[in-house]
C-alpha cells in the first residue's frame, strides 16, 4: 500500500517500550533508528507525491530500509 507508515513502533508495537529505551541508551540503535525513520519518511513522501525517481534508486532505498529494520529487530530481541 502506498504511503504506509513503517515506523518502528508501528512495525513492532509489542516492543514500543524497548524501542524508546534503546533510543535513549544505545547510540548504535538510535543512529540506526534515525536513519530508518528518515528513509521511511522519504519513501512515503515519494510514494504519496508520485515524485519522479528512477526504479533502481527507489528499490535501493527500500532495500536499505528493510536491512535496517532487520538489524534493529535483532537488537530489540537480543537485549
Per-position DSSP letters for 6-74, written without gaps between them: --HHHH-GGGHHHHHHHHHH-HHHHHHHHHHHHHHHHHHHHHHHT----HHHHHHHHHHHHHHHHHHHH
Cell of 56: 533502481
By the 8 A CB rule, do 69 and 29 touch? no
Distances in Å between the Cα of 17 and the Cα atoms of 7, 22, 76 are 14, 9, 10
Predicted confidence at residue 34, as pLDDT, reads 97
Segment 61-70 mean pLDDT: 96
Q: Where are the domains of the chain?
A: 8-78
Predicted confidence at residue 30, as pLDDT, reads 97
Predicted confidence at residue 49, as pLDDT, reads 83
Predicted confidence at residue 8, as pLDDT, reads 94
pTM: 0.86
Q: Over the stretch 6-36, which tens digit does the pLDDT of each residue have?
A: 899 999 999 999 999 999 999 999 999 999 9
Predicted confidence at residue 1, as pLDDT, reads 52
Amino acid at each position: 500500500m502506498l504511503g504506509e507508515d513503517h515506523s518502528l513502533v508501528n512495525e513492532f508495537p509489542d516492543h514500543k517500550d524497548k524501542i524508546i529505551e534503546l533510543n535513549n541508551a544505545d547510540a548504535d540503535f538510535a543512529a540506526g533508528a534515525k536513519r530508518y525513520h528518515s528513509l521511511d519518511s522519504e519513501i512515503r513522501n515519494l510514494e504519496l507525491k508520485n515524485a519522479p525517481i528512477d526504479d533502481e534508486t527507489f528499490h535501493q532505498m527500500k532495500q536499505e530500509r528493510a536491512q535496517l529494520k532487520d538489524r534493529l529487530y535483532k537488537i530489540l530481541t537480543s537485549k
